[in-house]
């Protein structure tokens, strides 16, 4: 299984194939979709894409961490982290697509 | 925000596109990501994040209700890691 890495270009290509838009406009739409999701998340909003998954923002409180190399204690400030919960459909596709058939 | 709100927003911003086509565009984007992961590929969207597939080794699990041992097969699960720009923006370091 030679894993490839897809990028924005591949997503624009998928849009280009799906609808008769120019490559340039397809790329702009991909960018805008990512922007809309990012902006909603930055505002603390959940992004729920049915049959894909849910992105949500969680707040973490401050805690004392440790530099694993030096053993030094370092304060970790309160921060917000992003979590992604895949939909059942995505999990099923990923599980069945990667079954020991490679 | 849910999928339909995203589609509504994009349609509003792109009055030259039929809403039907905007739906197809949005679906194509998410479907492409699922298809890539189903083939074991990674999708890296700089600034936003990366979708990848993680392998979970086979293990002996337990039915929590009965305590019975069951073998759980090796499987692959989807994983997302937020990109640096988005992580920074979530924490007010606007870029």
Calculate helix-pair angle for B19-38, A88-97, nearest 10 degrees.
40
How close is the nearest chain B Cα to the Cα of A45, in Å?
7
Residues in chain B with CB shorter than 8 Å from the CB of A48 are: 1-3
Contact A78, A61 (CB under 8 A): yes
CATH superfamily of B42-95: IHF-like DNA-binding proteins (4.10.520.10)
The shortest CB-CB distance from B1 to any of A10, A14, A47 is to A47
Q: What is the pLDDT of residue B93?
A: 73
Q: Which parts of chain B have pLDDT scores under 50?
A: 95
Strands A79-86 and A63-66: unpaired
Q: Which residue of B has its CA nearest to A36?
A: B6
What ipTM, to 2 d.p.?
Answer: 0.90
Q: What is the pLDDT of residue A84?
A: 98
Cα Rg of chain B (Å, integer): 19
Residue A73 in tokens:
């204690």
Strands A73-76 and A63-66: antiparallel
Is residue A8 over pLDDT 70? yes
Residue B82 in tokens:
């937020």
Mutate to test the interface with A, among B6, B9, B17, B29 (most CBs of A within 10 A): B29
Q: How many Å apart are CA B17 and CA A81, to the nearest integer? A: 35
Answer yes or no: do A82 and B86 touch at CB < 8 A. Answer: yes
Q: How many Å apart are CA A97 and CA B90, to the nearest integer? A: 33
Q: What is the pLDDT of residue A2?
A: 64
Q: How many Å apart are CA B7 and CA A80, to the nearest integer? A: 27
How close is the nearest chain B Cα to the Cα of A35, in Å?
8
Strand partners, B2: A48
Tens digits of residue pLDDT in A31-89: 999 999 999 999 999 999 999 999 999 999 999 999 999 999 999 999 999 999 999 99
The shortest CB-CB distance from B29 to any of A14, A38, A55 is to A14
How close is the nearest chain A Cα to the Cα of B31, in Å?
8
* Cβ count within 10 A of residue A99: 11
Residue A1 sits at the vertex; the CA angle it makes with A4 and A89, to the nearest 5 degrees, is 75
Answer yes or no: do B10 and A36 touch at CB < 8 A. Answer: yes
């Amino acid at each position: 299984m030679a894993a490839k890495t897809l990028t924005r270009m591949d997503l624009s290509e998928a849009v280009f194939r799906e609808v008769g838009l120019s490559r340039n406009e397809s790329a702009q739409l991909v960018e805008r979709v990512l922007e809309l999701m990012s902006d909603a998340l930055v505002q603390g909003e959940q992004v729920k894409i049915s049959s894909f998954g849910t992105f949500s923002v969680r707040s973490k409180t401050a805690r004392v961490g440790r530099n694993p190399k030096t053993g030094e204690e370092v304060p970790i400030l309160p921060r917000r982290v992003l979590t992604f919960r895949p939909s059942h459909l995505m999990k099923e596709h990923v599980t069945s697509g990667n079954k020991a058939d490679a | 925000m849910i999928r339909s709100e995203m589609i509504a927003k994009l349609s509003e911003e792109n009055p030259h596109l039929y809403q039907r086509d905007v739906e197809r565009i949005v679906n194509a984007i998410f479907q492409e990501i699922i298809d890539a992961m189903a083939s074991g590929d990674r999708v890296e969207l700089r600034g936003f994040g990366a979708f990848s597939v993680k392998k979970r080794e086979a293990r002996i699990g337990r039915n929590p209700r009965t305590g019975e041992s069951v073998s759980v097969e090796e499987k692959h699960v989807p994983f997302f890691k937020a990109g640096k720009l988005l992580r920074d923006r979530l924490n007010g370091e606007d870029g």
